[in-house]
Chains A and B, each alone.
Chain A
């Protein structure tokens, strides 16, 4: 099971961050707490069915933040394990690019005005279709090879990014659409409603459940395809299902909050340093840590009133810095090991 004596302090730490973050998120805002609470009581007693800040904005925002943090972190952990590559993240298969492109099309066609769920649906559909495309293009007679998958994913990513760039260039005169796309791409937890929760939650539950069910198989797959087959793992099937889980998790995250870069790349690394490579320990703590970290980032921005950056921007900045520090630490360790072996 995931919980061990060694990891317990970290579970407690992230659990505490989560608890404090939840309390602060639900109790702070523009509306004073007594008024909010009165509205909540009125809502449940049937006296007041109007819009309530706690029930209709803060709570959905909290759920979306928790789901998105967990989804992105677990997606990164799974992909890093499957690809045996520390640089793997939800973007390596082009999934997030596909979601982003579909959302761009929705904004251009102004469907988001006429169909309220167009943006989250497009994000999810884009992620899923991209996964199917990448998988389909990298399929060979013997199945799907990891190397082929990575290369195809990178190629598809490049194509999708190029298409998006071409669209942005063609629309450079329509500044209002460019502004809308830019605001969405930056990633935000503002004005999240129950529609975002209902769009994301089933995807997150199914994705996380699938990830947890197969975490033992992920450990075995880390030994290599041949070894895994010899140990009774249906490599192709398990891998496909795990990628599907990643697409569900990433699609749900993009649908709910837009692009949150680097989150799925850096956090699994940090957690792996704590739990080790065993995914049965890694994934549960990653779920907790991902939720707590994204919630903490959002609270940081709100508490200090930082408007120049969104949660997507700050995640990318901090994630990049952390990643560089980890790389320097890794290089120093390798240098020391080489020196000691000489």
Chain B
């Protein structure tokens, strides 16, 4: 037989050489269609004289918005004032579609801000008590009677921890999920280090000894953990899935009432609303490039986890895209195969090339590395977005985050769209 004529050693060597030789020929040679190096983040803006009103608008820095969303009351009221003025300036220049917080909402926010900044702690306690609801319902329908203020809190989930870190002092929080400490860009160590304990089963006794007065849990919390908390006599406040902006506001408000911070919660929700409107106004003010004959730019937003997928309006990201579409003339590409049950639609490269968006926004947890990978993918070189240098990367951790930081996601989205389409982008 054939195989008997070869010594085993030679057979293995020959086999290994065939395989490695094939790989060498296949992978060592340069690609026949090398993708041109694409500077994804830089682009020469068109040189057009910017409208005069742009020079009067507030700078709207992301870092300021993030700091305010973390609970900086003074900054919140300052920014809301600036944005209100921005809106009036734009209205003065007869821009159509300018929106701002209602007069009542704005006044309320300013009044709350002033009370929180000026009053001493004892007066604030009395004030909060005055505005606190008598009872609040959680998502399981459990009624929480708020006859006495609760002072020590245990957030079992990232969402509730995010709310609590913005609404109250870290010293009132008994423990946080350990993974929250890794998100240093949103939750700096200077804040999280003030909370000594992590939520894990080894700390159950320490957590119990810290005597939390309420635990914020979710429907996906481990049943055994919930049972232990109940047996320790700790009331559970359940926040189920938060999938829309109104649900985020409602959750913040209810959490605020439970922890005796109704004013802070009200201010935070008003600030979120004001920020979204301000972002809309800035997008409106920056206008859009592409003269009339170019039409509405086609924008595609993709998530990346091992493969690309399109978010549907069921997700928070999809709702942000819908909002951007409703208020500004961007045409977001959605799959015609999406059903009401889909959260995301896988997007194969052929479909991506077929859609050929004018602008491509990709959300990923590692944007820098993904850029290199995309450069090596031949199909991306076919895209108009690539040829026009309009492929943008945003932080995937912020998108679909059902916390107050969803505002940052909207900011990032607006920034890339303005950069892609505005002649005045800086």
Contacts and interface: CB of A to CB of B under 8 A. Distances in A.
A281 interface: no
Contacts, number: 104
Chain A binding surface, main DSSP class: helix
Nearest to A209: B15
B2 interface: yes
Contact of B179 (A49, A174, A179): A174
A29 B351 CA distance: 8
Interface string B1-45: 111000010000001001100110011000011000000000000
B23 A191 contact: no
B178 A53 contact: no
Contacts of B19: 202-203, 206, 248
A50 B381 contact: yes
Interface stretch (A6-14, A78-86, A109-117, A266-274): A109-117
Contacts of B308: 191
Nearest to A171: B179
Interface in A307-330: 307
B103 to A, nearest CB: 41
A198 B27 contact: yes
A73 interface: no
B3 A51 contact: no
Interface residues of B, number: 46
Contacts of A58: 350
User: Which of A30, A51, A172, A195 has its CB near the most chain B CB atoms (within 10 A)?
Assistant: A51
Contacts of A194: 26
Nearest to B183: A173
Contacts of B326: none
Interface string B71-82: 000000000000
A175 to B, nearest CB: 8
A57 B308 CA distance: 15
Nearest to B379: A51
Contacts of B58: none
Interface stretch (A93-101, A157-165, A182-190, A334-342): A182-190
A102 interface: no
A113 B371 CA distance: 8
Interface stretch (B207-215, B250-258, B362-370): B362-370
B379 A176 contact: no
Contacts of B378: 51, 56, 193
Contacts of A303: none
Contacts of A202: 18-19, 22-23
A145 interface: no
B337 A191 contact: no
Nearest to B355: A30
A206 B305 contact: no
Interface string B352-391: 0110000000000110011011001111011000000000
A248 B177 CA distance: 43
Nearest to A177: B365
A142 interface: no
B27 A117 contact: yes
A199 interface: yes
Interface string A23-61: 000000111000000000000000001110100111000
14 contacts: A30-B350, A49-B32, A49-B33, A56-B378, A176-B396, A181-B306, A190-B307, A191-B349, A194-B26, A198-B22, A198-B23, A199-B23, A206-B18, A307-B342
User: Top 4 A-B pairs ranked by shortest CB distance?
Assistant: A173-B179, A113-B369, A198-B26, A202-B22
Interface of B: 1-3, 8, 15, 18-19, 22-23, 26-27, 32-33, 177-180, 182, 305-308, 337, 342, 345-346, 348-351, 353-354, 365-366, 369-370, 372-373, 376-379, 381-382, 396-397
Interface of A: 29-31, 49-51, 53, 56-58, 107, 110, 112-114, 116-117, 172-174, 176-177, 179-181, 183-184, 188, 190-191, 193-195, 198-199, 201-203, 206, 213-214, 237, 248, 305, 307
Given A206-B19, A307-B345, 19 more contacts: A30-B351, A51-B353, A51-B381, A56-B378, A57-B349, A57-B350, A110-B366, A114-B372, A173-B182, A181-B306, A183-B305, A183-B307, A193-B378, A195-B27, A198-B22, A198-B23, A202-B19, A213-B3, A237-B8
